[in-house]
Chains A and B, each alone.
Chain A
């Protein structure tokens, strides 16, 4: 067998004092062979990125590599190597792509010049030759019109195009190891699918070894040859992709794989009576930004165009779409956090689309919203209890009564009622999201809007919050508007689904119909692009339980 491109042996990396554990990574051993893609999977805080950064020699001083660890690139030790040698090795023998294509490129340099920096630093080539090689490389990552790309600034390109420039930069010197740290997480599914295909193609062509870091089992199923599962810095299981996904041995791996929502809508357990009252109906809802200039011209953007749907009591409507499709704008219009430009939003039979703030106040409590980022949706300076009772107190409930109810709600979202006087930073992301749910429920709403409410959570926590939301909806007979970019999540929780693209609803109907037999081209393309589509995690792992 040929020598591995990357060999990690007993790798331990320390955390600064006062961290939640002694080592960020403890005793991890793995290898990446030439032409092999090894996926490193784990939830946030499991130490996957730390491993990537230690290999590149980019760790901050606060995270020391413990003695006895070995990191070897084609047999060459990287732990005790000079900074100069590391600099030589980066790009020439190992390259890295980062998660955030928006910030990984320098915004004031042309893309060509940024790739050129790598060549100028590491090769003796003349400017004309470098240019030729860069144009070839841009063509290899399938970017259209290489000449124009060379001259473009990063902001002129889309996220997917930028990530391609990053890949071109990482691979231009033909490194034997490519480290990809969540390279597709910030991208839309269709772009993600293309980017994964590109990485796989280039890797096969060049025989590069790839260490691919991700939290998404769909991506793993799509791209990996072998998978390593990390938990709290420890390697719990490692094996070939098929075997690991279908027959996970370690309970943690089993739990993770079980938590991945299935791509098929489940059979509905509960049958709703047909005559459920309509809670919310929108009709020809429009939101435009920008306005005509003083002398004509001007630029108007249609964020939302003629959106119409209905949500009944006890029912969940999902809005799915890629970034920029206008799904969040719809949610914010309905919650009246922004004012719609045109159209009707009927709450029961009252049009709230154009209602002035004074009259709206009484109706606001009927529509509550849960936001994406659990770290920013609670005021860090106010205790959890204060946050939950704020709304009811606004509407005249006495503080004591509101607190009493808050304790019940904490139990409902399965948190300790005694912790009402704690502050948000003492809770984990999933717990905070449950507090947000309690805050919304304190208002006794009729419609609950979840705007990407589980997107920032780890897959196991996500599953818990989803279950909780479904449970609460059934218990309280709530109408729910569920905004998500994640098709798997939508398939699990939604009764009806509206697919949005470029501000318009392109397909709208029962979830089973849309997921089973999509009609619109865009919906088909979206489903086609979903990673690991051929792999049904929940089902395949079910027999283990």
Chain B
């Protein structure tokens, strides 16, 4: 299981490294969205609730781009058939894809969050950073799990590009809610306040629950 996962993961990362398809697009998309928010809100600097909302909506939409691309190579090049022929546990594909998506999201945030701090954020990011990292990791895990499940659901449909946002956005509302409420006090004007524990536990609970559900149902998406 572990060897399969690492082989699949290495394949995905190598593919991304060579084609540079998803991550640069997601980064570019987030930065463009900040610019759009700047003009849409007509504000030069934002803080608190508004800042965390803008940050999370942008990251979520960027993640949707990545989710859309997640299984496209497998679908077009017949990777699913190859994987089904191999005598390995099918859950390995889910784990590998979720980890790959998680890694992509982390890479995107590595650039998108500092860009946010430079372009839009009023208060400085330094103090808030440890708390923000924790929220980012929890939310990324949730997005990666649900995103992989949704991508696998939508890949066989005719209108794939339409189905992914329609399915993923309502499912990810709790993640955005928890993440933006947890981030809001960190980005407040008068320096970072304490991290609210109940929203973090909501995020963690969500991650755990959907990991279990995805583990249970993912096998059925691969049969042919």
A and B bind? no
